[in-house]
Amino acid sequence: MNYFPDEVIEHVFDFVTSQKDRNAVSLVCKSWYKIERLSRQSVFIGNCYAISPERVIGRFPGLKSLTLKGKPHFADFNLLPYDWGGWVYPWVEALAKSRVGLEELRLKRMVVSDDCLELLSRSFVNFKSLVLVSCEGFTTDGLAAIAANCRYLRELDLQEIEVDDNRGQWISCFPDSCTSLVSLNFSCLKGEINLTALERLVARSPNLKSLRLNRAVPLDTLQKLLMRAPQLVDLGIGSFVYDPSSEAYIKLKATLVKCKSIRSLSGFLEVVPCCLSAIHPVCQNLTSLNLSYAPGIHGNELIKLIRFCRKLERLWILDSIGDRGLGVVAFTCKELQELRVFPSGVDNAAVTEEGLVAISAGCPKLHSLLYFCQQMTNAALITVAKNNSNFTRFRLCILDREKPDPVTMQPLDEGFGAIVQSCKRLRRLSLSGLLTDQVFLYIGMYAEQLEMLSIAFAGNSDKGMLYVLNGCKKLRKLEIRDSPFGNTALLTDVGKYETMRSLWMSSCEVTLGGCQTLAKKMPRLNVEIINEDDQMEFSLDDRQKVGKMYLYRTLVGPRKDAPDFVWTL
């Protein structure tokens, strides 16, 4: 390859898009490293504390798209104190100072302030795309800055965010000259929205493909928006409440029939179930349906809707669908690839192993599952494993912690064992129910492609964790809570953690002494002890058990923004 001029090699590299592949390419030789780094446009940083913004900018000056993840996964479940970290301001500041022509920023579990959004909006002329997932720290003022200043904005996508809503006029801040929007998602905003401004914005956005509204957008506005944007591919409905005999309903029905491009539907944050027949014409083309925020849709109305969705590939639903409803899904949705069943909080609505078995039998293409259920049996899991060996993601959450197989009263080791043995491409696994060390033996033995494992209230001894650390060669993220794994498990193979992104252990048996030993041996890990009750201040006893430990590999040492209650050993 030395015979080719750099431009040719660079051109070849243009076809290498996945970050993994580009990382591999950069390791071949110095010349390739250089060509690759100068031409790399898209960078993914799985842990914002593993590297500094300056080093990323230094290596990839041509950076256009940056993806950053901050807090560990268990932060989603309130296991991490509020101001632990994950501030993105330093990144935006560093990028602004440099000559990087940032166009896209995608953040997950990070803290984003209004100042940061303001700086972002003013610093990059070609900024096009902002995607925030499970982030916090900003208000609609920040959104107003993005709307006002990003002249070529294509995408503004807010997912699962609790925004401190100022009921501001942020949507009016898009200038009349802004006609470039392709994707706008503000479904998670709680406050009111200027409906006229919204209508005018949609009217002047001919490229708009994805529009997700919040609950403040009433039905008649929805109808007007759909009239303006019949080309929509992805629609998130806010409020779907009206009188079925009204003119508004008739108008909407007619309008929806014209929206032949809609492939993805979500929302229904407020809904009157009897009026869903207007949606039926849209259902036959749907590949993605998310009703997991629509507790108002259930029972027969829900099942009627599902029966129209023959092309569905992705379904997110509440457990109010019941086993019977899942049976209808299994019968109807033969193209289904991803299923997520969330808890609705209503006890008698939950699903059981029956629903899952039906799905595994009826949906041969299913490979991604998140399933909150009332109970599970080994027999069912073994059947699922037999029916379907395609799973890449298998997350099972039995709501009752440590619940055994209700038929045999046995732990669920054999069931999960069957899953990992059958599904050779399994990359992500979450366990629940009563589990002994045996399940970890199976995981270590069979789950060769496993990258992420979530453990809660499981196992008997250090052996469990050791089976996993020894066996799962591709493990990147391990998160454990309330399980009896201690120092022996933690310290047996300390080198392993440099091959992983991170390890979380909370309410386990590791002690302060164990963590300190690990930190001493592995200087390229940050071992953080997160300390909520001021326990550690009173006693620096090595034998004291650690409440929460989060460790991750890093090239830049202990972070300087750690709050008082985080102790980096």
Point out which residues bind other proteins (CB under 8 A). Answer: 74, 76-83, 134, 160-162, 164, 188, 190, 269, 292-293, 295, 342-347, 372, 397, 399-404, 409, 434, 454, 456-457, 460, 481-482, 484, 507, 532-535, 537-539, 544-545, 547, 563-565
Q: Are 428 and 393 in contact (CB under 8 A)?
A: yes
Of residues 3 and 82, the one with the C-beta less far from other proteins: 82
How near is the Cβ of 251 to other proteins at its closest, in Å?
29
Instruction: For other proteins, give the closer residue by CB, 14 or 534.
Output: 534
Shortest CB 33 distance to other proteins, Å: 39
270 or 335: CB nearest other proteins: 270
Which is closer to other proteins, CB of 411 or CB of 471? 411
Collect all residues with Cβ–Cβ distance below 8 Å to 274 and sequence separation of at least 6: 244, 301
Q: In this structure, which amino acid lies at residue 542?
A: D
Smallest gap from residue 108 Cβ to other proteins (A): 12
Shortest Cβ 345–other proteins spacing (Å): 4
Question: Strands 566-568 and 525-530: what pairing?
Answer: antiparallel
Q: Which is nearer to other proteins, 309 or 397 (CB)?
A: 397
**Which residues are within 8 A (CB) of 444 and not within 5 positions of it... i.e. 6 or more apart?**
467, 468, 470, 471, 472
Smallest distance from other proteins to CB 453, Å = 14
Nearer to other proteins, 121 or 290 (CB): 290
Judged by beta carbon, residue 26 or residue 377, the one nearer other proteins is 377
The total of other beta-carbon atoms located within 10 Å of residue 506's CB is 20
Of 484 and 558, which CB lies nearer to other proteins in the complex structure?
484
Q: What is the DSSP letter of 282?
A: H
Burial class (CB in 10 A: 0-12, 13-18, 19+), 535: middle
Quote the least distance from Cβ 388 to other proteins, whole Å: 23
Based on its alpha-carbon atoms, the radius of gyration of the chain, rounded to whole angstroms, reads 25
Euclidean distance between CA atoms 259 and 235, whole angstroms? 10
Phi, psi of 277 (to 5 degrees): -60, -25
Q: Is 341 within 8 Å of 374 (Cβ atoms)?
A: no
Minimum CB distance to other proteins, residue 332 (Å)? 26
529 Cβ contact partners less than 8 Å away, ≥ 6 residues apart: 512, 515, 536, 546, 547, 548, 549, 566, 567, 568, 569
Distance CA 548, CA 206 (A): 50
Nearer to other proteins, 158 or 282 (CB): 158
Is residue 457 within 8 Å of residue 480, measured between CB atoms?
no
For residue 266, with 0-12 CB atoms within 10 Å meaning exposed, 13-18 middle and 19 or more buried, which class applies?
Answer: buried
Phi first, then psi: what are they for 160, rounded to 5°? 50, 50
C-beta of 559: minimal distance to other proteins in Å?
A: 16
**Which of 126, 125, 182 shows the shortest CA–CA distance to 157?**
182
Phi and psi torsions of 348, nearest 5°: -80, 5
Write the DSSP string, 420-436.
HHH-TT--EEE--SS--
Smaller CB separation from other proteins, 104 or 528: 528
CB closer to other proteins, 159 vs 449: 159
d(CA 255, CA 236): 15
Residue 256 has φ and ψ, to the nearest 5°, of -65, -35
Comparison of 345 and 364: residue with beta carbon closer to other proteins: 345
For other proteins, give the closer residue by CB, 27 or 409. 409
Q: Closest separation between CB of residue 416 and other proteins, Å?
A: 17
Minimum distance from residue 508 beta carbon to other proteins (Å) = 9
Question: Minimum distance from CB of 477 to other proteins (Å)?
Answer: 15
The residue written with tokens 């990258």 in the block is 451
For residues 402, 406, 410 and 414, what is the CA-based torsion angle, rounded to 10 degrees? -90
Q: 292 or 360, CB closer to other proteins?
A: 292
Contact 268, 298 (CB under 8 A): no
Min dist CB 535 to other proteins, Å, is 5
The 8-class DSSP code of residue 546 comes to P
Residue 271: count of CB within 10 angstroms of its CB: 21
Structure tokens that stand for 244 in this block: 């079925």
Beta bridge partners of 506: 481, 548
Contact 269, 214 (CB under 8 A): yes
- Least distance (Å) between residue 139 CB and other proteins: 10
Q: What distance in Å separates the CA atoms of residue 469 and residue 492, rounded to the nearest whole number? A: 9
Residue 431 Cβ, how far from other proteins at the closest point, in Å?
A: 11
